[in-house]
Amino acid sequence: MFFWNKAKNTEPVEVTPAERMILYHYNGCFYCKMVRRAVDRLGIEIEYRNILEDPSYRQELYEARGRSTVPVLRGLSKDNDWWMPESRDIVRYLESEFG
């Protein structure tokens, strides 16, 4: 099971395997590119939501997190909906789950 720290000095959050994964990103973002590269390298099936191409994606990200910084990986299941920011945490999670 993967855990990550949502913010400094917080309890680790448990990330459960998701039925669907979504990456909020945009093309010119270096940190997003790092994550997209990991997704390609690991051959993961993921839905991309480009927040500059579709403002509704930016809006849903903002509503969930209170900010629209990308990249953010979202894991959706019937009984869970987690949102993971920070490129390095995302890559670490993907490698631990799919590497």
Ligand X SMILES: N[C@@H](CCC(=O)N[C@@H](CS)C(=O)NCC(=O)O)C(=O)O
Which residues here bind ligand X, judged by CB under 6 A? 29-31, 67-71, 86-88
If the CB atoms of residues 26 and 98 are measured against ligand X, the closer one turns out to be 26
Please state at what angle helix 87-98 crosses helix 30-42, rounded to 10 degrees: 0
If the CB atoms of residues 16 and 27 are measured against ligand X, the closer one turns out to be 27
If the CB atoms of residues 31 and 98 are measured against ligand X, the closer one turns out to be 31
* Calpha distance 31→59 (Å, rounded): 20
- Residue 92 main-chain phi, psi, to 5 deg: -60, -40
Nearest distance in Å: CB 99, ligand X: 19
